[in-house]
Structure 1
């Protein structure tokens, strides 16, 4: 039976908001979640930032869970959080993703609650003062129309088929349980999980009506480091993420769109960003062969390289 957004019937709902020094974001992120008629358990996970994030989250009515900074990992921390909640459906958010409407959570989780998909992710729109590449990236990745993808859609969508963002996503916990949950990884835990779910016959729903304001200002150095981390992770999971398509296809598609849509005055900045991103990605693809000390200096995730997963030899590999 299909449930309308706002219904309190149906599976239990949990929300995980992963934070570090995020106190300033909570008053825009949490209220629509806490007010939802789905009556979710909202869990704010904090990697020991000590800036008052935990105290404010508790005062607002959220549950909290503090993780030692040395133990934080994009995949494993989210895995611990979803298991801690134990709900049938779990939404993952970052604190700087601000829901636009009060019915955001109902809309985001509907395809998972109704059994139409194992994961659903929402539309991200840029901040008003977003730089050209931020704005163009959101246009490219988050269209205005909802759709559902399965592995049979690969000829049409290519690498976009397994695209997903845990800045704003909802997951079936039963489906995650079947693949062993989120894995220890440098970045891209949601892409790895989505690809595994597709391989098992599940579907991914894109919910354009579940909208958050979310984008990041990136310097050229930030862009290099971000793409290094993505390339590094994709190389480690090449059998899952790159087996069906030649590398960089989607990146070239974005570059073509960005150059076509950017205003003339924006072109130098856009070209520089694209060039630095490509270089970071290509070096990242060679990253697993580099000495770890070098990879650490090139990465944007400084905490990861001294974390327990890295010290235990994970280096971004899947851990059961």
Structure 2
């Protein structure tokens, strides 16, 4: 990509009952120093629910029935819309996947995410996630651990050193070079979770690199309860079991155990035993959920539906 060339970036946002954060996201996208070419909103709707009206001429809304929502397939549908509008020449075009509750921290988000594509080896870039002002201390620590301020370039050579973190990537805010994305066949589907890491693994195995942009920032965090952590990690385990060819060769449990130990020590040294206890409890819920998810295919259907946070996916795909 020449430095004088204006990049063509299409933004793809799955949305379900969009709120104020979504409207702020759209407004800030339109104020970026590098403007989005088009914003495709993939609105998950239930029977009788009204479709959102576009907030700008560069935005279009495409309804997706809730029972058909899939983390990989729905986003891939959005990429297909972009390809259809662009035509045959998709070189030097980019697609930015975001979630409806990720709000740009400034007006240079797209500019900073697209810059690393000046290196032809770069296939994906993803943004730093900052905790919301009202975020709990534990969520703030998690955000700092997973999204430090320093940039990082990851390739196949880093697998031995970084392990599963080599494949870490988040479609909360991630930009893909469109021709590389299509070259890999788009996101896998059906998938309950982790479509971003699975794609990152394919890019890295194909010889490309994934770039974490610490200066490209979005505000995004959740104060999950223990049960929400359980459900989320159950789905994580399901994903890793269904795509074991990606995850079985690299353990993610060592990474999680290391973070848990360091966080507990941090909290105890700072005189926060209550927080330390609650964090340990959260870790327990996460581990149990994850282990059950890894064995979902041996569990009764009713139990799987109770454990997952996406029962619609399980109903349609557990037997596939």
TM-score of the aligned structures, taking structure 1 as reference length: 0.89
1: CA distance, partners of 2:301 / 2:198: 22
Deviation at 1:109, TM superposition (A): 2.3
Is 1:240 paired with 2:246?
Answer: yes
From the superposition, tell whether residues 257 and 2 of structure 1 become closer, same or farther in structure 2 (CA, over 3 Å).
Answer: farther
Task: Report the 3-state secondary structure (helix = DSSP H, G, I; strand = E; otherwise coil) of the residue aligned with 2:97.
Answer: strand
Matches within 5 A, 1:126-205: 126-184=131-189, 185-205=191-211
Other-structure match for 1:68: 65
Q: Is the 8 A contact 2:163 2:251 kept in 1?
A: no
2: CA distance, partners of 1:195 / 1:97: 24
Deviation at 1:10, TM superposition (A): 4.2
Is 1:277 paired with 2:286?
Answer: yes
2: CA distance, partners of 1:33 / 1:258: 35
Other-structure match for 2:100: 95
> Cα RMSD over matched residues?
2.0
Q: In the alignment, which of 207, 211, 216 is matched to residue 213 of structure 2?
A: 207
2: CA distance, partners of 1:113 / 1:298: 44
2: CA distance, partners of 1:218 / 1:153: 31
From the superposition, tell whether residues 26 and 246 of structure 1 become closer, same or farther in structure 2 (CA, over 3 Å).
Answer: closer
2: CA distance, partners of 1:147 / 1:101: 20
Q: In the alignment, which of 36, 39, 44 is matched to residue 41 of structure 2?
A: 44
Deviation at 1:111, TM superposition (A): 1.9
Deviation at 1:53, TM superposition (A): 6.8
Task: Report the 3-state secondary structure (helix = DSSP H, G, I; strand = E; otherwise coil) of the residue aligned with 1:47.
Answer: strand
Q: In the alignment, which of 81, 84, 99 is matched to residue 84 of structure 1?
A: 81
Q: Is the 8 A contact 2:38 2:58 kept in 1?
A: no
Deviation at 1:2, TM superposition (A): 4.8
Is 1:221 paired with 2:227?
Answer: yes
Task: Report the 3-state secondary structure (helix = DSSP H, G, I; strand = E; otherwise coil) of the residue aligned with 2:52.
Answer: helix
Is 1:109 paired with 2:114?
Answer: yes
Flag as ranges the 4+ runs of structure 1 deviating above 6 A. Answer: 50-53
Deviation at 1:176, TM superposition (A): 1.6
Other-structure match for 2:17: 21
1: CA distance, partners of 2:238 / 2:136: 26
Gaps of 5+ in 1: 315-320
Gaps of 5+ in 2: 87-92
2: CA distance, partners of 1:42 / 1:271: 41
Deviation at 1:21, TM superposition (A): 0.8
Answer with 69-78 or 129-138: which moved more: 129-138
Deviation at 1:252, TM superposition (A): 0.7
2: CA distance, partners of 1:125 / 1:292: 37
Task: Report the 3-state secondary structure (helix = DSSP H, G, I; strand = E; otherwise coil) of the residue aligned with 2:40.
Answer: strand
Is 1:30 paired with 2:36?
Answer: no
Deviations 1:214-233 (A, max 9, x none): 01111111000100110111
Q: How many residues align?
A: 305
Q: Is the 8 A contact 1:32 1:103 kept in 2?
A: no
Matches within 5 A, 1:112-123: 112=117, 114-123=119-128
2: CA distance, partners of 1:53 / 1:105: 27
Deviations 1:169-217 (A, max 9, x none): 0012211212211111011110111111111111000000110110111
1: CA distance, partners of 2:182 / 2:301: 31
From the superposition, tell whether residues 51 and 140 of structure 1 become closer, same or farther in structure 2 (CA, over 3 Å).
Answer: farther
TM-score of the aligned structures, taking structure 2 as reference length: 0.89
Deviations 1:53-110 (A, max 9, x none): 722x435752111111111101000000011112521000001111001111111222
